[in-house]
């Protein structure tokens, strides 16, 4: 087999064992890699009711057939497990040299189960796994841990690590690499912490087998040139995703004051131009020629890598209009290993709860000093408020009561990423139906909505959401390639099957990846959720929070806008119908069978009645 | 003939390529937007969003006095 290594490293932390599992071309082309591999493995190997923080949960670190090869933005991997935050399927992608080193180590994925007796880290070199003591690094920040591991194993190794928040099983702890690359929003860092696994270090010296090395090289050179020739390239290099702050504010979708509003009076102080004034360098994922990690010196003089999501959530969403201070909070989150989106949502939630008198001695809007303390408290689960918020906004709202569930901004337990949806119904649908809970990575339709019919609840919007989910959530997450060349610069999708053909020698068509692979993955992930929630599953799980339906925005050009619940339900019905799911949002037996998931249908029917 | 002013507000990248953030232009008679905007040749105009009074428009749309035109990049949203 070319392209794929055909090997998965299996590690059992309890029994201190590892084995190398091989797989064939059939498995490779059916599931491609990344999210495709992870969904298949987690569905088959995690029994219903698996404790996400118990030894039986499995952490899957999976690359794709292009990962680790030179080529535009191909240096990514997926980290997946059952999520402790949502109780459903969870994953995240991360761009890191660890992805390259893992593939050069001769493996395409690592599956880790069990729990170590004492803190350890996993060192992987050329198919071999070694469990080494994490004494001396357990308790350290992600930055310090990576530094020490590089001192121990060489500066070229790839490191995935958790910080104190992962160790303390904060429900939205992430995995960090290279001081700012983060992945695994739904608590993948907490899963590592529960296993007493501080880090995974990869070192590889093997060549990834290529079907047509010369052809691949030619193609890659053309692809890089194509990206550089795009007219938006220069501006992208200057501002990256941070251009989105101004754009979102102009379009009333910038999350502000816990998603109450879509415009922020201090947006100019945290936008892409403010970034340009502070920027000291750029960094990013391996092999990327449009690196988007914009690094600034924060208000404490330390480097902090910014992008739109973390600035919006730790800026406008908490009423903080000072980029240097936002950068401190962002850097602290990266050091501690906390997801910046969920952190910003939790702090915003606490600020609103304080304002409404539901929390005593809480935190006021824009209170930077207290936000810093609270970030630490969350990471270490210190104090009443820190412990409360370490569970995420859904659990926090259940605990503090009142009407807080109406403005706890999550779907399925995952905090909503940085787009206010009072006036973009299509985007509300993407958050509602994202396969890990509210996340933008699988579909982002706001620009398309604004360009066509912003206020409409139309079939075309449903089609667009599904089209984007197929491309972004299905194909990109399985190839594990970055979506930004395509979405931001217009790099055509046709490049990917061509690259795959040159690398693997196999004809895997775009149509296959979009209509078979992606639909299979979406059905399988949905089956995972339904199996877990069984009789408690309902279409309510696919609703965005009440705030967007009930509380109009009060500022900006769309003052007075809210989502229409009845019309949203119509969108959801259309979505289900187009996916071949019933009106509860459960794939029908026919759909599962059509996607080659007959056994999944059989198993699922033990827990819910399937619609034929 | 009555003369009015149309306002053009490009944002972000669109402001960079047009060279201004806000401009008012005299409109003597209904005019195609393409006549009011000069983009460098390299710009992929199909990747721009154009709104006239918040309604979706194109470079071929007709602009009259008092219209507000907003232009922005078709962002992908991270
Ligand atoms: S565009 Fe950004 S996220 Fe994508 S590969 Fe490059 S650096 Fe990584």
Cβ–Cβ below 8 Å for A247 and B76: no
Give the residue range(s) of CATH 1.10.599.10 domains in chain A. Answer: 430-604
CA of B28 to the centre of ligand 1 (A): 47
Q: Which alpha helices (H) appear in A161-242, and where do they start and end? A: 164-167, 188-194, 213-229, 233-239
Cα A479 from Cα A508, distance rounded (Å): 11
User: Within a domain: residue B41?
Assistant: yes
Given this model, what pLDDT does residue B77 score?
84
The domain in which residue B51 lies consists of 4-73
Half-sphere exposure of A585 (CA within 13 A, CB side): 27
CA of A91 to the centre of ligand 1 (A): 18
ipTM of this complex prediction, to 2 decimal places: 0.95
**Residue reference for tokens 């207290």:** A370
* pLDDT tens track for A93-128: 999 999 999 999 999 999 999 999 999 999 999 999
Cα A541 from Cα A528, distance rounded (Å): 14
* pLDDT tens track for B61-72: 999 998 999 999
Interior/surface letters A481-518, b for 16+ CB within 10 angstroms, e for the rest: bbbbbbbbbbbeeebbbbbbbbbbebebebebbbebbb
Q: How does DSSP classify residue A434?
A: -
Give the residue range(s) of CATH 3.60.9.10 domains in chain A. Answer: 7-203
Asked if residues A249 and A267 have their Cβ atoms less than 8 Å apart, the reply is yes
Residue A551 burial (10 A CB sphere; 0-12, 13-18, 19+) = middle
The values of phi and psi at residue A233, to 5°, are -55, -50
Cα A217 from Cα A221, distance rounded (Å): 6
Instruction: Tell whether B51 lies on the interface with A, counting CB pairs under 8 A.
Output: yes
Counting ligand 1 atoms within 8 A of each CB, the residue from A281, A283, A484 with the most, and so the one to mutate, is A484
User: Within a domain: residue B24?
Assistant: yes
Q: How does DSSP classify residue A587?
A: B
Selected residue of A247, A423, A441, A472 to mutate for chain B interface (largest B Cβ count, 10 A) = A247
SS3 assignment for A289-300: CCCCEEEEECCC
User: Within a domain: residue B78?
Assistant: no
Cα A119 from Cα A544, distance rounded (Å): 39
Q: Which two tokens stand for residue A33?
A: 């890699």
* Cβ contacts of A340 on chain B, cutoff 8 Å: none
Asked if residues A199 and A134 have their Cβ atoms less than 8 Å apart, the reply is yes
Sheet holding A158-161, edge to edge: A128-133, A120-125, A197-203, A158-161, A175-177, A181-183
* pLDDT tens track for A550-608: 999 999 999 999 999 999 999 999 999 999 999 999 999 999 999 999 999 999 999 99
Counting ligand 1 atoms within 8 A of each CB, the residue from A34, A96, A285, A310 with the most, and so the one to mutate, is A285
For domain A7-203, is the CATH number 3.60.9.10?
Answer: yes
The mean per-residue pLDDT over the stretch B3-30 comes to 92
* pLDDT tens track for A382-392: 999 999 999 99
Q: How does DSSP classify residue A120?
A: E
Instruction: Please say if the pLDDT value at position A374 is more than 50.
Output: yes
Instruction: Tell whether B15 lies on the interface with A, counting CB pairs under 8 A.
Output: no
Q: Could you tell me which residues are beta bridge partners of residue B70?
A: B9, B51
Count how many residues are written for chain B: 78
The mean per-residue pLDDT over the stretch A156-167 comes to 98
Cα A164 from Cα A93, distance rounded (Å): 21
CATH code, domain with B41: 3.10.20.30
Given this model, what pLDDT does residue B3 score?
57
Q: Which is higher by pLDDT, A128 or B78?
A: A128
Counting ligand 1 atoms within 8 A of each CB, the residue from A290, A309, A486, A490 with the most, and so the one to mutate, is A290
| Residue ranges of chain A whose CB lies within 8 Å of a chain B CB | 230-232, 235, 239, 241, 243-244, 246-247, 250-251, 272, 307-309, 419, 440, 444, 446-448, 450-454, 483-484, 486-488, 490, 557
Instruction: Please say if the pLDDT value at position A406 is more than 90.
Output: yes
Closest partner CB to B78 (pick from A241, A250, A486): A241
For chain B, how many structural domains are there in total? 1
* Cβ contacts of A448 on chain B, cutoff 8 Å: 74
Asked if residues A31 and A4 have their Cβ atoms less than 8 Å apart, the reply is no
The values of phi and psi at residue A283, to 5°, are -150, 175
Cα A477 from Cα A490, distance rounded (Å): 18
Share of residues in chain A with pLDDT > 70 (%):
100
- What is the CB neighbour count within 10 angstroms for residue A606? 9
Instruction: Please say if the pLDDT value at position B1 is more than 70.
Output: no
Average pLDDT, chain A: 97
Instruction: Please say if the pLDDT value at position B23 is more than 50.
Output: yes
- Give Cα A373 distance to the centre of its chain: 26
* Cβ contacts of B49 on chain A, cutoff 8 Å: 447, 450-451
Given this model, what pLDDT does residue B78 score?
76
Cα A87 from Cα A481, distance rounded (Å): 27
For domain A430-604, is the CATH number 3.20.20.70?
Answer: no
* Cβ contacts of A284 on chain B, cutoff 8 Å: none
The mean per-residue pLDDT over the stretch A334-347 comes to 98
Instruction: Tell whether B61 lies on the interface with A, counting CB pairs under 8 A.
Output: no
Half-sphere exposure of A271 (CA within 13 A, CB side): 19
Cβ–Cβ below 8 Å for B12 and A444: no
- Give Cα A411 distance to the centre of its chain: 14
Nearest to A46 by CA among A63, A65, A59: A59
* pLDDT tens track for A451-509: 999 999 999 999 999 999 999 999 999 999 999 999 999 999 999 999 999 999 999 99
SS3 assignment for chain B: CCCEEEEEEECCHHHHHHCCCCEEEEECCCEEHHHCCCCCCCCCHHHEEEEECCEEECCCCEECCCCEEEEEECCCCC
Instruction: Please say if the pLDDT value at position A610 is more than 70.
Output: yes
* pLDDT tens track for A220-255: 999 999 999 999 999 999 999 999 999 999 999 999
CA of A485 to the centre of ligand 1 (A): 8
pLDDT band at B47 (very low <50, low <70, confident <90, very high): very high
At the second CATH level, the architecture of A250-425 is Orthogonal Bundle (1.10)
Nearest CA to ligand 1 atom 5: A73
The mean per-residue pLDDT over the stretch A519-541 comes to 98
- The pocket around ligand 1, CB under 6 angstroms, is made up of A 73, 95, 284-285, 288, 290-293, 482, 484
């Amino acid at each position: 087999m070319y392209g794929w290594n055909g090997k998965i490293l299996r590690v059992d932390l309890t029994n201190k064992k590892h084995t190398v599992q091989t797989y064939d071309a059939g498995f490779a082309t059916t599931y491609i890699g990344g999210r495709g591999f992870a969904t298949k493995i987690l569905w088959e190997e995690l029994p219903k009711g698996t404790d996400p923080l118990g030894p039986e949960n499995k952490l899957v670190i999976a690359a794709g057939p292009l990962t680790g090869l030179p080529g535009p933005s191909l240096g990514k991997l997926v980290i997946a497990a059952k999520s402790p935050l949502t109780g459903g399927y969870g994953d995240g992608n991360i761009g890191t040299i660890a992805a390259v080193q893992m593939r050069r180590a001769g493996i395409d994925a690592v599956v880790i189960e069990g729990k170590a007796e004492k803190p350890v880290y996993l060192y992987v070199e050329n198919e071999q796994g070694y469990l080494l003591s994490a004494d001396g690094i357990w308790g350290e920040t992600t930055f310090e841990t990576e530094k020490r591991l590089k001192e121990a194993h060489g500066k070229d190794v790839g490191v995935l690590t958790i910080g104190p928040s992962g160790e303390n099983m904060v429900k939205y702890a992430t995995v960090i690499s290279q001081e700012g690359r983060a992945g695994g929003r739904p608590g993948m860092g907490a899963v590592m912490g529960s296993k007493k696994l501080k880090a995974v270090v990869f070192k590889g010296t093997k060549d990834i087998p290529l079907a047509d090395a010369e052809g691949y090289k030619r193609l890659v050179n053309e692809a890089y040139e194509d990206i550089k020739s795009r007219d938006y390239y220069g501006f992208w290099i200057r501002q990256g995703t941070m251009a989105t702050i101004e754009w979102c504010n102009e379009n009333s979708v910038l999350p502000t004051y816990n998603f109450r509003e879509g415009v922020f009076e201090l947006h100019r102080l945290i936008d892409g131009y403010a970034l340009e004034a502070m920027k000291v360098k750029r960094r990013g994922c391996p092999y990327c020629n449009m690196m988007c990690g914009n690094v600034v010196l924060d208000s404490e003089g330390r480097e902090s890598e910014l992008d739109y999501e973390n600035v919006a959530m730790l800026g406008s969403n908490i009423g903080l209009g000072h980029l240097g201070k936002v950068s401190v909070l962002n850097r602290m989150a990266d050091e501690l290993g906390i997801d910046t989106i969920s952190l910003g949502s939790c702090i915003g939630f606490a600020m609103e709860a304080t304002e409404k008198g539901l929390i005593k001695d809480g935190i006021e809007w824009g209170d930077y000093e207290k936000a810093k303390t609270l970030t630490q408290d969350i990471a270490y689960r210190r104090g009443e408020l820190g412990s409360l918020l370490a569970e995420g906004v859904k659990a926090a709202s259940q605990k503090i009561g009142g009407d807080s569930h109406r403005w706890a901004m999550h779907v399925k337990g995952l905090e909503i990423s940085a787009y206010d949806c009072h006036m973009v119904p299509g985007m509300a649908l993407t958050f509602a139906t994202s396969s890990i809970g509210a996340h933008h990575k699988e579909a982002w339709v706001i620009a398309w909505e604004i360009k066509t019919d912003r206020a409409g609840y139309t079939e075309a919007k449903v089609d667009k959401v599904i089209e984007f989910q197929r491309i972004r959530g299905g194909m990109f997450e399985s190839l594990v390639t970055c979506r930004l060349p395509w979405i931001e610069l217009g790099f055509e999708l046709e490049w990917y099957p061509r690259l795959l053909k040159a690398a693997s020698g196999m004809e895997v068509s775009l149509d296959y990846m979009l209509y078979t692979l992606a639909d299979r993955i979406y059905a399988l992930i949905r089956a995972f959720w339904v199996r877990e929630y069984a009789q408690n599953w309902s279409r309510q799980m696919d609703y965005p929070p009440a705030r967007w339906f009930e509380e109009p925005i009060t500022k900006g050009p769309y003052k007075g806008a809210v989502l229409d619940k009845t019309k949203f339900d119509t969108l959801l019905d259309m979505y289900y119908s187009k996916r071949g799911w019933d009106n509860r949002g459960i794939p029908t037996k026919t759909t599962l069978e059509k996607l080659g998931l007959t056994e999944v249908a059989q198993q699922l029917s033990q827990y819910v009645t399937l619609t034929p | 003939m009555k003369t009015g002013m149309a306002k053009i507000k490009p944002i972000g990248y669109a402001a960079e390529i047009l060279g201004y953030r806000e401009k008012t232009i005299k409109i003597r008679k209904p005019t195609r937007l393409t006549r009011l905007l000069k983009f460098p040749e390299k710009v992929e105009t199909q990747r721009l969003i154009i709104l006239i009074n918040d309604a979706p428009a194109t470079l071929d749309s007709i602009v009259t006095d008092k219209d507000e035109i907003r232009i922005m990049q078709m962002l992908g949203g991270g």
